[in-house]
């Protein structure tokens, strides 16, 4: 899944960036408020991690502009500001969760998983569709209880499809959540990964909807 990480502190950028990448996310990082606002207003993200103290345009203003423009991705606010009134202001502006600095990386990941899960309509930590179980906490996939070894891109593709199992997802949208914005994207990358996943998970789990994209289905329904 593709995450926009908005932060201007060099140490936090390094630590959080490495943590997110290690957890299987594709990370777009920006530190300038105007660039952050523009990216969030024009790009497709699974979630945004947003610092409030940014140059050019502060995080609260950015968040309000996104919500006014009906940008609905979940937002986790990071800030060194600790007062309850500022937290309330952030939530009222449209934030989905709030994490004060300093913070532990495990808590950051847990809160990020939570807002993504809630935004896609899933209440439990693991997502189960048919015989396939996805555990985002451990980046683990099982079929009928048997662990399956997936490559990072195979995992990202399956995770995105399973989080959004109520809709058909285009190849373009899937491709955007498989690789970073500056990585070269192969035109048939999604088709190749879908083929690999079908061989590993079973042919009935991913349905091709020609002309529209792909969807995860429950074979029992």
User: Both 112 and 170 in a single domain?
Assistant: no
User: Considering Cα of 209, then 165, then 190, then 143, what sign does the dihedral take?
Assistant: negative
Say how far apart CA 198 and CA 56 lie, in whole Å: 47
53 has a pLDDT exceeding 60:
yes
Residue 221 lies in a domain: no
84 burial via Cβ count (<10 Å: 0-12, 13-18, 19+):
exposed
The answer on 114 and 7 residing in a single domain is yes
Among the three residues 86, 119, 152, which one is the final residue of a domain in this structure? 119
Tell me the C-alpha distance between 78 and 95, whole Å: 10
Residue 29 is assigned to a structural domain of this protein: yes
CATH number of the domain that residue 170 is part of? 1.10.10.10
- pTM of the model as a whole: 0.85
Omega within 30 of 0 (cis) for the link into 169: no
Number of separate domains in the chain:
2
Residue 204: pLDDT band with limits 50, 70, 90: confident
Give the pair of three-digit tokens for residue 193.
């990964």
Q: What is the mean pLDDT of residues 188-194?
A: 90
139 with 115, same domain: the answer is no
pLDDT tens-digit readout, 134-183: 999 999 999 999 999 999 999 999 999 999 987 899 999 999 888 765 55
The residue segments making up the domain with residue 163 are: 127-216
Which pLDDT belongs to residue 150? 95
> CB under 8 Å, gap of 24 or more: what pairs does 98-105 form?
101/12, 103/78, 105/15, 105/16, 105/19
Whether residue 8 sits in one domain with residue 90: yes
30 occurs within a structural domain: yes
* CATH number of residue 22's parent domain: 3.40.50.2300
What is the average pLDDT across 198-208?
Answer: 89
């Amino acid at each position: 899944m593709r995450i926009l990480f908005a932060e201007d502190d060099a140490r936090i950028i390094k630590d959080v960036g490495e943590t997110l990448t290690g957890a299987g996310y594709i990370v777009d990082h920006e530190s300038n408020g105007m660039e952050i606002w523009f990216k969030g207003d024009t790009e497709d993200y699974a979630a945004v991690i947003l610092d409030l103290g940014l140059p050019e345009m502060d995080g609260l203003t950015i968040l309000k502009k996104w919500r006014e423009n009906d940008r609905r991705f979940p937002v986790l606010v990071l800030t060194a500001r600790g007062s309850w009134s500022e937290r309330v202001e952030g939530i009222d502006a449209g934030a989905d969760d709030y994490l004060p600095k300093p913070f532990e990386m495990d808590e950051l990941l847990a809160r990020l998983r939570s807002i993504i899960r809630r935004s896609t309509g899933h209440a439990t930590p693991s997502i189960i569709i048919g015989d396939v179980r996805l555990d985002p906490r451990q980046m683990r996939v099982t079929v009928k209880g048997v662990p399956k070894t997936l490559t990072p891109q195979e995992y990202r593709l399956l995770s995105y499809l399973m989080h959004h199992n109520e809709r058909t997802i285009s190849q373009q949208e899937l491709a955007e959540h498989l690789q970073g914005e500056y990585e070269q994207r192969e035109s048939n990358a999604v088709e190749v990964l879908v083929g690999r996943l079908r061989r590993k998970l079973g042919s009935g789990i991913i349905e091709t909807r020609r002309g529209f994209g792909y969807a995860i289905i429950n074979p029992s329904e």
